[in-house]
Amino acid sequence: MSQHAAVVARSGRFAQGPAAEVAAFTESVSFDWRLWRQDILGSMAHAAMLHHVGLLSQRELRQILGGLAAIGREIAEAKFRWRPDLEDVHMNIEAALTQRVPAGAKLHTGRSRNDQIALDLRLWLRDEIGTLSGEVRGLQGSLVGLASRHVEVLAPGYTHLQRAQPVALAHHGLAYVEMLERDQGRLRDAFARCNVCPLGCGALAGSTLPLDRAFVARQLGFVDARGRVRLAENSMDAVSDRDFVVEFCAAAALIAVHLSRLAEDLILWSSTEFGFVRMADAFTTGSSLMPQKKNPDVAELIRGKSGRVVGNLTALLTLLKGLPMTYNRDLQEDKERLFDTADTVGACVRLMAGLLDHTTPNAAVCRAAAADPQLLATDVAEALVRCGVPFRQAHHAVGAAVALAERTGRRLDQLTPAEWQDLAPAAAIDPAVIFDLDRAMRRRTLPGSPGPREVRRQLARWRRRLSAGAAPGSRKAGSR
Ligand code: ARG
């Protein structure tokens, strides 16, 4: 180890470095190296603040900024040599800087790795939330696009996975757009609580030096929509808080669960038994044994990967629950869970959008399934209600009609007017009107219902929103 590196890596307190297996067990640079941009950005802002309060000369600041920029370039070009013996991304960069410029030895003034890692994670996650939110927007766009292209397609809606009532397939798709919109709101909330600057909180108790916390926070964009600077208000909380990681991972887990449900719908619908949709070859795979197979692996993996994302959330909550105040090394375990969640959910969102762009409904099969007259049994009961029959009696009468049809091997729309008259004397049922599927859909006019007018209105609303919409956390949304 070079002398500079040794000075950075351990204090005068230790006569010896850690045993090899301890070093291997405790290092984190093998995964936290990916925070290098944020680490350099944070160090640059910290150095600028040290200069601002008179703890660094102009010359020293210039040395530090130049050295950090050069290190950044080396890392970007994959020319930087990461050293596991220097433990983490922070020590690697600081040691390299100190080796280059003497002023590097002043960079860590008034700072601890505890506020530094909290800062790096917040900076990283802020960008990640913006990116994920944009990807979710893209997926919402794919759903709205698919729904718009096939707005005429009708299909059965299900409860208990039993055919229930007919719906526009577009309506089914827009249900997921709504779920994803709530996800967007959760990402926005997570962003707001992530966007708080911990720098200046030191190891746990701040510093006796005249640091300017607001200066550095402003430099790093820790401001709210109105431009007010956002500082962590308690130094002990600042270094031990990982709520922002949990909140993001919870929001991401719910996104993963929504995608898993959508994947399940697509898997069912692409089966021969349903035959409602066809996935393009490029988004399916074959079998190594059965030549005829075409498998929905992309959808299956999206469904499957939700498991690890939920697991990551559980792991984080478990990690935090017994920790005494304040920073404990346990917290190093947060990063791989966070990175895995962000990577996995991002990929799932992108792949789901691609899959939807390459999926086509089979309108004829969907319609044939939706045209099952039993799906309009509720419409018959509601027609009786319009004639003044109490709903419970109407429900009973139509139930009896369904039983009669089943008993006599006919469809519900094949009962004769006389039979209907028998079952519901108070009302005149005109099967030709009641069981006309398109008419039935036009009867559904309530807000939020699957009738053609309402679905078209919702589609237009979403198209407007998506073309105008800024991603939460983006500058356009004004949250920074
Ligand atoms: N690698 C550490 C982490 O991820 C950085 C902070 C280390 N701080 C300390 N006092 N050991 O949590």
- pLDDT digit string, tens, across residues 384-402: 999 999 999 999 999 999 9
Long-range CB contact pairs, 380-383, < 8 A, 24+: 380/412, 380/429, 380/434, 383/427, 383/429, 383/434
Which runs of E-coded beta strand occur in 322-470? 359-361
Residues 78 and 155 placed together within one structural domain of the fold:
no
Contacts of 339 (CB under 8 A, 6+ apart): 31, 34
* pLDDT in the model for residue 170: 98
The answer to whether residues 92 and 146 belong to one domain is: no
- Tokens 């180890």 — which residue? 1
For residues 82-93, average pLDDT: 97
Could you tell me if 314 and 227 lie in one domain?
yes
pLDDT at 265: 98
The fraction of the chain above a pLDDT of 90, given in percent, is 88
Straight-line distance from the first to the last Cα atom of the chain, in angstroms, rounded to the nearest whole number: 42
Active-site residue 287, yes or no?
A: yes
Domain of residue 317, residue span: 114-368
Same domain, 311 and 384: no
pLDDT at residue 417, as a whole number: 87
pLDDT digits (tens, 9 = 90+) for 407-423: 999 999 999 988 999 98
* pTM, entire model: 0.94
Q: How far is the CA of 57 from the centre of ligand 1 (A)?
A: 29
d(CA 333, CA 316): 8
Q: Measured in angstroms, how far is the CA atom of residue 112 from the centroid of ligand 1?
A: 9
Q: How confident is the model at residue 12, as a pLDDT?
A: 82
Residue 8 has pLDDT above 90, yes or no: no
Q: For 127-166, how does the pLDDT look when each residue is reduced to its tens digit (9 = 90+)?
A: 999 999 999 999 999 999 999 999 999 999 999 999 999 9
In short, whether 326's Cβ falls inside 6 Å of ligand 1 is no
- Give the domain-ending residue among 368, 401, 426: 368
Q: pLDDT at position 476, please? A: 42
In a domain? residue 470: no
Q: Is 117 in the pocket of ligand 1 (CB under 6 A)?
A: yes
The predicted-structure confidence for 323-345, as pLDDT tens digits, reads as follows 999 999 999 999 999 999 999 99
pLDDT at 10: 62
pLDDT at 1 over 90: no
pLDDT for the residue 472: 45
Point out the ligand 1 atom lying closest to the alpha carbon of residue 88. 1
Distance CA 362, CA 412 (A): 25
How many structural domains compose the chain? 3
Instruction: Tell me whether residue 288 is one of the annotated catalytic residues.
Output: no
- Indicate if 45 and 155 belong to the same structural domain: no
- Is the shortest distance between the CB of 312 and ligand 1 below 6 Å? no
